Amino acid sequence: MTPEPAWFIAIGVGVVGSFVIHLSQGLMRLGIRDGARGAGRRTWTWGAILNLSAPLWVVVANRFGPTTLYTSMYAVGLLPLLWFSCVRLGRDLRGRDLVGAGIIMVGTALLGLDGLLGDRFSMADVRISPLLATGALTTLLVVPVAWLGKVRPAAPQGILFGILGGTFLALDSLLKGVAQNDSGQAAFLPSTGTGLLIFLLSFAGAAGAFGMVQWAHARNEAPSETVAGYDAAYVAVPVLLVPLALGQGGSVSWLCWTALLLLLGGTALLVRSPDANPAPAPE
């Protein structure tokens, strides 16, 4: 299938948004490390402002193509974040970190290719009930995941918090996509009361994502690990959930499954021992 030219704009917005949001994660972590006053507070504030721009990027991208085109590009900002973690946060950059990030980016590119060449669909046809059910389940998992970190210190808390945060943000993006297509055609803002309600509801997902990331930073989890789980979930959840929400019985192409396996493998490479390379103490 020949992709529509506007779809490439959606992909481009995804790349730019990915760089901005990933670097915001590093800035917030740096601000927390440097303390709550002075430069540390200013750094965290700038990071938070950039991080809260996430809904804006997806609103723009949804105007030009399906939400999955935007989300499939999200992991490309992982390499700049790894560099930031090394240069500004004092963490060792291992070879396997770069390999893992590279594998995640290849998986992301394959998902983008699958989105461009796969079956064409409209976000207007996506049913909202599977999205809401996924949101409720994710919310219920927050407390058990936090409890697991207390009873099993070796558990990859950064990855788990990232997965929950990425799922929340994926739901934010999908709900906005449905709302922006409430009239049957893509628009920057909803045109019906129902669409506006869905649009406003989507911000609960953005708030959940922001909260999970802040929680991970406060627990001194490595940004590269948290964002690896975040990226994997943010990319995988839409491509798995949208076919189900379209009533296609969860049909996913072999190319998509290959990409998801690469994402899983790349994320696994980024997991490190909880005692390895601890973050520097605040100055």
**For residues 172-201, b (16+ Cβ closer than 10 Å) or e, as one string?**
bbbbbbbbbbbeeebeeebeeeebeebbeb
Is residue 13 over pLDDT 90? yes
Within a 13 Å sphere around the CA of 155, how many CA atoms are in the beta-carbon half?
A: 13
pLDDT at 218: 77
Rounded to an integer, the average pLDDT of 9-22 is 90
Is residue 135 over pLDDT 90? yes
pLDDT at 3: 64
Q: Share the mean pLDDT of the chain.
A: 82
> What is the percent of the chain where pLDDT is above 70?
89
Rounded to an integer, the average pLDDT of 84-110 is 82
Tokens of 57: 């990027």
pLDDT at 164: 93
| pTM given for the model | 0.79
Q: Are 209 and 106 in contact (CB under 8 A)?
A: no
pLDDT at 170: 93
Rounded to an integer, the average pLDDT of 226-238 is 84
Rounded to an integer, the average pLDDT of 134-147 is 91
Rounded to an integer, the average pLDDT of 34-61 is 84
Cβ–Cβ contacts within 10 Å for residue 80, how many? 15
Pairwise pLDDT comparison (2 vs 43), residue with the higher score: 43
